[in-house]
Structure 1
């Protein structure tokens, strides 16, 4: 079995799990909104009708509807689906994603479950698409699990992110996109057999607060892990601990000679600057990196002249300045650690960055060419739950077009 076929098989198994989890929660009448069950009983008593539903979202998305379609065909295999956008295609706001035709007595109770499975992965797909396009040279690791509510949400979110990532690669062959997940559960959606990750802060605390001791334990016990990553912000010594851990890995343990590679992960708390930086030093660091002097000139270079000029209230400029020069994992901190590793002779060491890498942060990082190799993020999750609300309206009954006032555009 080639790699592409294996990946398809793994993805199929993930889609089957989503249906399995939904079915395990109980029958349709148990899960749907009660008014749909009332409607189903009326249709059964007074005569069924063939109806056509139109489904759309009120915001731009990337189509990621296979989980919903699998559930639809589980409960109503005779339903006919007309798709207007392929999986992974950008869908403008209010545009019909699809039409579904079938018996009202069956589709009525399915509506709630379908909408649950449509909006959420489509918004995740859109966010992942934008993030991957913004930072095409970095790989992304799905770390959303701790922000989800359980396996069904994990699978829906990861499915969306995987679709968005693939769409970004299709749009730009330079995009690396999502390369794995922190969970075994969702790793197959990214073509990996198992989850991957670095180490938690808890392990460093367990090791007496010393990241090097934690790294040694990690490398010894997890001998099958090819990529060994040190989380270097625990003691606030990002530069010193990055170099110290790299020295042990390459010069003392020589783990690179055993086919293993080394990264440092930056996860600096948003309340402080990385070791060796303050605001002024951060501005200087990014300015040198980009060959531009002055913080506002740097922001203009990253944003572009038009965006900079349109932001007359400096709202966007201030947000961008925080990402470039501020506390936490900034562009400046990544450059700062990269330079320290290079100066110490460890140019082969990679940098993993995490902490708030949403679309905006990825756009700024990409605009500044921040030297990050991998981004660990769960920030493709929708910022607001309202973003995920899909809507379904019946637009035809037994072939006769009919829809509520205000939704006539769905008849087209």
Structure 2
């Protein structure tokens, strides 16, 4: 277990491709899989690996995220010693661009990093949804006597060409990272960085201080890529299932893949359970004419219509003769009598009134913003 490792979740992640559902929330707070938020997965992976000191480097509007994580009790992080810390950002607005200015916020929270008692630090973003125990990566880091270890997922050459807004890396036969590219137009490598980095805490402090004092603004570029010749940087392969959420299309596709039992089982139970904010609601209620097939339906929902190949969040109401197919309906959504939606993503509090018909395409779902009434 990684008792001597602290975790830092870096929320400086570009979400220009999510404008419809990140207008009121950061990427980490995007609802996923019926009851969860993206940040739940990295928080759960940390605690399942024995990491009990976690800092969240916030960015932009983090109110929705603060409301979700609260004290960190659901992840056993409400502690007298260590626990969960929300590290404030001096910046406002949404994070944009391939190289966000995260070093300024690392530097402004340097006291937290310096005062922590753990020897190592594990940095992670929130867009890589997976179930992982970091102990194997930690042992690899020690065995290689590495300065920095970057976790990556290897794809086929064809799959890698379809990755967007990605950080790709290349390793030699010994696993040492010899090249990295951020958001290349044409991917020349098939190894995708999970944006998870393991290094000693003191080295992190030194890299932040040295980079900021030389005008650096981005951790990946100025602390890692510019030190590839000076530091021993190794790559550790992750072989489990990965849902990388980098666009609305990927969000839709990976949500639909959760309906496959094997994928759902791995992502929620492979190396420990995934935890989330507890809401005491009644189980989903299925009325006489309800028909539900191959779907995830969260608690608090009331189903009177037909639901197929869909993900319904907490408190969703599906009225009589309504039909939902290949769609995602987030919290407290309401599909009126006789309404039909197919290949649609409805954000929170969306109401589709009686008789309306909305149909997108599997490769281009319709996205309806929070609170919209149609």
TM-score, normalisation: structure 2: 0.28
Higher strand share: 2
Higher helix share: 1
